[in-house]
Amino acid sequence: MQQDVFEQFSLLILKMSKIVQKIKALEMVPFDLKAVHVMILYLLRMHREGLSVSELCRQTMDDKAAVSRAVSVLRERGYVEPEDTRLSPVRLTKEGEELAAYISGRAACAVSEGGVGLGDEERARFLLVMETICNNLEKYQKKLLKESSIREEI
């Protein structure tokens, strides 16, 4: 029974993650951008004061090289500023704000489609359960790291 729960949970989380990545990629085709750009634009819209590349890495859970490349592409396209992000936070330009607003609208559509058949209470409960599981697994991961010689890079 425990193995079945692990298998079902793991496969459903993996499948949902892959589907969300594909939706992001499909939504970005008209803009010739990738899924990684979606989260950066979305996060910058939520943090109008801007975010450092390090903070973007932490929040997207992507490595610094991937985030730096993505920010560089967004800067070249005129969606973010400044030119040098080593000392200043990354912020949206007017064009970036417009694209981020579009992304937020499309994300709302995806969430709505994903939640068809769920009431507000069920959706809220689902998110609470997912957050609890995520926090518990994060604690477990940290415990395992403490108990072993494995480094945080995993």
pLDDT in tens, 97-140: 999 999 999 999 999 999 999 999 999 999 999 999 999 999 99
| Phi, psi values for residue 78, rounded to 5° | 85, 15
| Phi, psi values for residue 80, rounded to 5° | -135, 160
How deeply is 99 buried, as exposed, middle or buried, from its count of CB atoms within 10 A (0-12, 13-18, 19+)?
Answer: buried
What token pair was written down for 145?
Answer: 């790291």
Confidence (pLDDT) at 4: 87
What token pair was written down for 76?
Answer: 């070249």
Predicted confidence pLDDT, tens digits, the chain (154 residues): 566 888 899 999 999 999 999 999 999 999 999 999 999 999 999 999 999 999 999 999 999 999 999 999 999 999 999 877 788 899 999 999 999 999 999 999 999 999 999 999 999 999 999 999 999 999 999 999 988 866 655 5
Helices 35-46, 94-114: crossing angle, 10 deg rounding = 110
Angle in degrees, CA 77, 79, 81, rounded to 5: 105
3-state secondary structure (DSSP) of residue 30: helix
